[in-house]
Structure 1
Amino acid sequence: MDPATFPQADPLLMAALVLAAFGTAAALLLLRSIGPFLNLTWSSRSGNGPADHAPSCLPEEAACRVILDNLPDPVVLRDLRGRIVGANRSYTRLSGGPHPAAAAEPVRVTEEALETCEGGRWISWSETPIEIEGRRHRLLTGREVSESVRVRHRLEEARARAESESEAKSRLLATVSHEFRTPLNGILGMTRLLVETGLNAEQTTYANAVRSSAEAFLTLVEEILDFSQIEAGRIDLADEPFEIAALVQGIVELLAPRAQGKGTNIAAFVATDVPRTVRGDADRLRQVLFNLAGNAVKFTAEGGVGIAVERGAGDLIRIVVEDTGPGIAAERAAIVFEEFETGEHRGSGEAGSGLGLAITRRLVDRMGGRMELDSVVGEGSRFRVELALPAASDEDGPALAKAASSQPERSPGAVLILSGSPYEGPYLARTLREAGIEAVVVTELEQALARMAARSFAVLIADHALPDTDARVAASEAHRHGIARSIVLLSPFERRDVGSPHAAGFDAYLVKPVRPRSLFEQLGPRDLAPVATRPAPAATDAATSRGRAVRILLAEDNEINALLAVKALERLGALVEWARDGREAWERAEAAMAGTDLPYDLILMDVRMPGLDGIEVTRRIRAREAEAGRPRGRIVAVTASHVGAAEAELRQAGFDNVLAKPFTFEDLAAELSSCEAVAPLAQAS
């Protein structure tokens, strides 16, 4: 064919079409073959040296060269002897030759579906701005991506199916949790009522066994639900101010009866440089520490458990939970945080689901912290948690107030502490020393007597858990050596057995685990007075503060749970009306607001009920209150669902608080106390 008779073509257009149809390498060869017919030519470029290149005298080809040099793929043309006769910039850079200016970056990448004779195809187009002989153009290079698009679509479909299955699993677990909690609430509550009816020793043992089994079952349900939420990535962290010392002390006091019942003890220490108020997720931190300390109490048969909180660099807070248990072998320590690893390695007959430590590790990771384990078989274990918990701002509260804010203005003198506990005595000494008070710790009576004979002390603190009558002997010797104050450490169980501390030779007593505030109050300048545990709310507390009994509307469709709540509330001195479903609850509340019935001080509303559920009833009550322009009455949600996941939604619906099943006598007492300052649900004045 005569080149003169071939139609004149746009070189850039032809180059792009050839590239799209045949690919970069094939396009280079084809363009070289048909170049004379299209007035397209290209010249060779020197690469790795004369020995590897054949001479070439190709005519001018600016458009083709710019196109090839801006391709992201390396392109090279060799003659029949294997010598390079042409190459683009990408190849030159890869081969180590001269480094020309880099090709322009694509400004847009799009995918296009094309129908061809072979079926549907996907082409990925990259658009790159180029310049040819002073004129600006857009270079579009295409590559077939049909297979990768199909793979991506399959992955998206698989991800959608997995998310749907995960959602279904979460709904199933939430439903199962709800259905488990409802009967467990009845079992635990009724067992407690049964124990308090005057059973004999054998019957009490059986009833307590039922309660322990139900509590273990409840723990398993909680762990499974928590683990499923973490697996699904549904753990939302709060960022709210809270008092870390109060949180730690609460955990210790909650676990103390369990530890003391085994003949061990648990104690806590919070360094004075730890901010009193910090920001973070208090509920998740409580869950982490409760899991660690609870495990330590479970597997420690002798000695005790300690929780120490110290400040690290910056906002870092370091919390150490340690015990004197059997320890964990090195080969087991590496996998103790894996799922379903039980406590068999602890050498105890007790075991769990194997999820507690796995959940704890994941929660710490989720909070951006780290956790480490040091353990020696036969000596004990130490779990160290480090979290960034910044001090709360002045707007949130007294952020930098020290934990031991009730320190005495002046030192009472040296304090001698006689305690065989591995943590209670040392922690008391650390607390005193940080307050500027000299403290000496001894573990045996003979050591205490030797110290008294060698020097003077102002105060003796002796643990009643010492062997035989060692504490009484120490108190007697303390008075003989002129020690002004003798204080005995008692557990609540020991307090009932000891009777009057004064009759035993002591001036006062402290209940274990000891709070720093109680300790410093006993060391103050005034005469010592016994510091007792906080008593449980008396049965008439809620009634006497108002001058009349608190009136409660209980909306509960489960007869056993209703019976449990009614009996417990009546023992607290309240008057209870029971609504068997949501519709009856709304009718009673409506009558109270209309003034045709007496007002309610508190409504305990089950969330799931037939007919109208608790959420809808609460919304109706709030709407009626808003219409009448009256203060909100107190409405508490009672739910067997997981509180952490549902609390925000329930509060948004109008509930003032959320009470999780199974609830305790103390939970109900706290709710009665909370409703004291709230206007009753009644007709607007």
Structure 2
Amino acid sequence: MPDFAFDQMPLFLLGLAVALFLGVEAWRRASARAAAHLAEIEVLQTRIETLRDEKWEIAEREARLADLLRAQGDVIIRKDLEARLTYVNDVFCDTFGRSRAEVIGRPFLPDVPEGDAPRMLASFAGLATPPHRIRFDERVVTTRGPRWIAWEEFAIRDDDGKLVEIQSVGRDVTDRKLAEEKRAEALREAREANRAKSLFLAAMSHEIRTPMNGVIGMTQLLLDTKLAPAQRSYAEAVRASGQALLAIINDILDYSKIEAGKVTLDEAPFDPRHVLESVAELLAPRAFDKGLEVVTDISASVPKRLLGDEPRIRQILINLAGNAIKFTGAGGVALRLSRMGAHTGDTAELLLEIEDTGIGMDKESLEHIFDEFAQADQSHARQYEGTGLGLAITRRLVDAMGGRIEVESERGKGSIFRVHLPLKIAEPAAGAAARAALEGMRVLILNDRPLLAAGLARAAGAAGAETHLVADAAALSRALAAAPADVFICPADGAAGEGAALAAEARRLHPGIGTLVLLRPQDRDRLDALTQGGDAPFDGYLVRPVRAASLLGRLTDLRVRGWAGDIGAPYAHDFAAVEPEAPPLPKPKEKMTAPILPLCVLVAEDNEINALLTRTLLEHTGHSVRLARNGVEAIAAVEADAAGEIDLVLMDLHMPGMDGFEATARIRALDTAHAALPIIALTANAMAEDRQACLDAAMDDYLSKPVAADALTTTLAQWAGRRSAHGTRAGEKANLA
């Protein structure tokens, strides 16, 4: 070994240092690489854990989805563009009894019961346009037999919006279909029951009205003869009972028609004032017989004419006001008419109010007052009889018109019924000038009948007059001492004394005052003594219930006479001219006389009593009668009339052997002038469709039993000397021959 040269030591150390440096650097780099690998391993491990979690979540979702699909019980299938199945669920396999291996890759249409056609789509037809879904019900053959399946088919698109598959989801709706069929069957049965009920009511109406015609008609004929007071009382009781029974029948028929939806509303212009006042006049005799007042109160804001069903509105008023009179023992009934809401636009909310001072109702009765067959007093000892249908009918009519009805009542304090009806305006209310026609006039009214006096005061005040109510002669004296008055109005008789004495006192205190007496229609025999001659205490009269136009006309006339200085002089003015709308005071009953030349009337009627009644009514008015017991005899009578003496035929509808419809058709088919004879249906059928059926059967008019003498006379007068348009051609041929 050579000796170590110390002069080489630096190089050695330098080499050693370099070697050490290189070793350390290599170690450092290796350590860095190892650390990087460890980090990559940790990242990979984290990603593996994440993938494991995601795989578990996906598996859980798939299991949940599978459970959900199995639980809902719907059939789910998918088809490709060639209509081959690409997927079916377990419910499909269970429902149709097929395995996946049998159906996947093949077209599928479910089997249907014999006679049914398959409806499931085999292509994309109908799914290419929105909403890209088709729904339909189909009855198919399943492992449980024929079942109804509600299918929903919709298109499956890829990310580019291209159609790729059809998915069909089918739900078993057999229970729903069975329920629908049961409902349909129940509805059909209900309709049949309604039809049977209507036929029953029509038949019962005819069967009841036929004897009722005899009862009421023959009783009226009996009352036209000389009777002892007791006999007349008994006959009046029979007639009143017959009319009450007829009213009950009419209520039941009305209700049945409304319940069956057979009521149609006819919209036409009408005068609401005339409707209200005419109803008050119609019911006034019944109220006066009970010592009650009937008054009307009409707001100036009510349009002159409205569009609506006038007969139905009249029926509502008659039902409500008739009930009010029925349940009122003292005081009276007020019929009011006003307009609610803003007075702009072409529609008005008409408010009809019927207020009475009757027995009233408690809260329990109010809750059921509009129910069918409801009575405020349900006890066996109740005082007021009836069907309990009037208010139910009224409510249904109001509902049909789009309105509403309310009632306010308290036991022992009367009731107020309010009916709100939305109606179109045909002619607006009068202007301010018309409402100020009596401006500057001072009117005193005797206040011994509060409802009547208050109504007169409101009506006169609405026309601009200054009104004051006086309770008695002393109050009258004080009022005239305080200021002169133009007119004094009082009843002929009242709690404050005889009207003539009060009028004389008013004239004594103020010679220029005009006087008006309030009379009932039956007070006609007192009219001349009260208003005619120089000593007459009154200058004019008003018929109760008083129309607003009549009051305005009387007051205007007295005002003109007052300016001319004629007050107190004999009143020669024709009162009818200033009271054109008021009903005339009735004349004493006279024997009926025919307003037309005597006719020869053929009466076809199988009921002996009704035949006798009709014959008597006709003969009392001077006509001659030929009777036929059925359609066969009616045709024979017409054919035997070679001289052409028969002028008109009254034809019953229901007769044995041949009914009135067939008999009419046979008469119209004759080759003689008799084919043009006027034929009037005379029947107990009371339905509106019955009238139309008669007209459709070539009859010319219709009279419903029980037939009133006035209605019969009016109809005869209308057709006397006329020929039927239904038989004109046959009649013309016969005349030419």
Q: Tell me the percent identity.
A: 37
Question: Which whole-Å CA distance do the structure 2 matches of 1:633 and 1:242 have between them?
Answer: 35
2:162 aligns with one of 135, 138, 145: 135
1:114 aligned onto 2:149: no
State the alpha-carbon separation in 2 of the partners of residues 573 and 106 from structure 1. 83
Pick from 551, 563, 585 the counterpart of residue 533 of structure 1: 585
**Structure 2 counterpart SS, 1:237:** coil
Residue in structure 1 matched with residue 544 of structure 2 by the alignment: 512
Cα distance between partner residues in 1 of 2:546 and 2:378: 32
Query: Matches of residues 654-669 of structure 1 in structure 2 within 5 Å?
Result: 654-669=698-713
Distance 1:579 1:635 in 2: 14
For residues 349-398 of structure 1, the C-alpha deviation after alignment (integer angstroms, 9 at most, x for no partner) is: 22222222122112211221100001122221100011122234xxxxxx
Shift of 1:333: 1.1
State the one-letter code of the partner of 1:495: R
Larger displacement relative to structure 2 (11-20 or 129-138): 11-20
Q: Is 1:490 aligned to 2:519, yes or no?
A: yes
- 1:451 is displaced (CA, Å) by 2.0
Aligned equivalent of 1:91: none
Q: 1:486 to 1:108 in 2, by over 3 A?
A: same
1:610 alignment partner in structure 2: 656
Residue correspondence of structure 1 range 385-400 to structure 2 within 5 A: 385-392=419-426, 399-400=427-428
* 2:316 alignment partner, one of 288, 291, 297: 288
Q: 1:563 aligned to 2:595?
A: no
Q: What amino acid does structure 2 have at the position aligned with 1:121?
A: R
Contact 1:326-1:379 at 8 Å conserved across structures: yes
- TM-score (normalised: structure 2): 0.71
**1:213 positional shift:** 1.9
Give the secondary-structure state (helix, strand or coil) at the position aligned to 1:326: coil
SS of equivalent to 1:218: helix
Partner SS state of residue 390, structure 1:
strand
Superposition deviation, residue 206 in structure 1 = 1.8
The 8 Å contact of residues 191 and 211 in structure 1, kept in 2 or not, is answered as: yes
Partner of 1:384: 418
Q: Work out the number of aligned pairs and report it.
A: 591
In structure 2, relative to structure 1, the CA distance for the partners of 1:343 and 1:118 (3 Å cut) is closer
Query: Is 1:230 matched up with 2:230?
Result: no
Moved more, 180-189 or 192-201: 192-201
Q: 2: distance between equivalents of 1:389 and 1:617?
A: 45
User: 5 Å matches for 1:326-475?
Assistant: 326-344=359-377, 349-392=383-426, 399-400=427-428, 413-467=441-495, 469-475=497-503
Corresponding residue of 2:92 = 21
In our comparison, the structure showing a higher alpha carbon Rg is 2
Are the aligned partners of 1:249 and 1:268 in contact in 2 as well (CA < 8 Å)? yes
Looking at structure 1, the residues matched to 587 and 663 of structure 2 have their Cα atoms a distance apart, in angstroms, of 36
Matched residues in 2 for 1:241 and 1:633: separation?
35
SS of alignment partner, residue 377 of structure 2? helix
1:540 to 1:549, Cα distance in 2 relative to 1, 3 A? farther
> TM-score scaled to structure 1, two decimals?
0.76
Structure-2 change in CA distance of 1:624 and 1:322 (3 Å): farther
CA RMSD after TM alignment: 3.9
CA distance in 1, matches of 2:694, 2:431: 34
- Distance across 1 between alignment mates of 2:593 and 2:489: 34
Task: Tell whether the 8 Å contact from 1:638 to 1:659 is kept in structure 2 after alignment.
Answer: yes
Deviations 1:615-649 (A, max 9, x none): 34445566679x9899x765443322223342333
Q: Which residue of 2 aligns with 1:157?
A: 185
- Structure-2 change in CA distance of 1:644 and 1:322 (3 Å): farther
In 1, Cα distance between the equivalents of 2:167 and 2:417?
A: 61
Secondary structure in structure 1 of the residue aligned to 2:170: strand
Match of 1:5 in 2: none
Mapped contact 1:177–1:640 kept (Cα < 8 A): yes
Q: 645, 658, 663: which one pairs with 1:598?
A: 645
> Are the structure 2 counterparts of residues 284 and 132 from structure 1 closer, same or farther at C-alpha, using a change threshold of 3 Å?
same
Q: Establish whether residue 148 from structure 1 lines up as the match of residue 176 from structure 2.
A: yes
Deviations 1:5-54 (A, max 9, x none): xxxx9598435543760699xx9xx99xx9xx99xxxxxxxxxxxxxxxx
Q: How many Å apart are 1:402 and its aligned residue?
A: 6.0
Unpaired runs of 5+ residues, structure 1, are 1-8, 39-103, 393-398
Residue equivalent to 1:263: 291
Equivalent residue number for residue 34 of structure 2: none
- 1:568-587 alignment runs, 5 A limit: 568-587=617-636
For 1:456 and 1:634, the matched residues in 2 are separated by: 64
Return closer, same or farther for 1:270/1:655 CA change in 2, 3 Å cut-off: farther
Cα offset, 1:240, TM superposition: 3.1
Measured after TM superposition, the shift of residue 304 of structure 1 is: 0.7
Deviation of 1:489 (Å): 1.1
1:637 is the counterpart of 2:637? no
- The structural deviation recorded for 1:148 is 1.6
Q: Distance in 2 between matches of 1:121 and 1:515?
A: 72
Moved more, 301-310 or 134-143: 134-143
Deviation at 1:172, TM superposition (A): 0.9
Distance 1:273 1:551 in 2: 53
> Which shows bigger deviation, 563-572 or 120-129?
563-572
Partner of 1:84: none
Alpha carbons of 1:197 and 1:606: their partners in 2 closer, same or farther (altered >3 Å)? same
Alpha-carbon distance, 1:149 to partner: 1.4
Matched residue of 1:389: which SS? Answer: strand
Distance 1:589 1:326, change over 3 A: same
Deviations 1:390-412 (A, max 9, x none): 234xxxxxx45769999997779
The 1:368/1:256 distance shift into structure 2, 3 A limit, reads: same
Q: In structure 2, what is the Cα distance between the partners aligned to 1:599 and 1:412?
A: 65
Output the CA distance in 1 between the equivalents of 2:502 and 2:538.
Answer: 10
Q: For 2:621 and 2:549, locate their aligned partners in 1 and report how far apart those are by CA, in whole Å.
A: 29
1:184 matched residue in structure 2: 212
What one-letter code is carried by the residue in structure 2 that aligns with 1:439? T
Unaligned 5+ segments in structure 2 are: 1-78, 106-129, 342-346, 562-571, 577-583
Deviation readout 1:296-324 (Å, 9 max, x if unpaired): 11111111111112223433211111111
Distance 1:329 1:662 in 2: 38
Shift of 1:579: 3.6
Q: 2:52 maps to which residue?
A: none
Residue of structure 2 equivalent to 1:244: 272
Q: Is the 8 A contact 1:539 1:573 kept in 2?
A: no
Partner residue of 1:79? none
Determine if the alignment matches structure 1 residue 312 to structure 2 residue 345.
no
Counterpart CA distance in 2 for 1:499 and 1:607 is 50
Post-superposition offset of 1:539: 5.7
Q: Is the 8 A contact 2:448 2:496 kept in 1?
A: no
User: 1:383 corresponds to which letter in structure 2?
Assistant: F
Are the aligned partners of 1:317 and 1:388 in contact in 2 as well (CA < 8 Å)?
Answer: yes
CA distance in 2, matches of 1:620, 1:280: 41
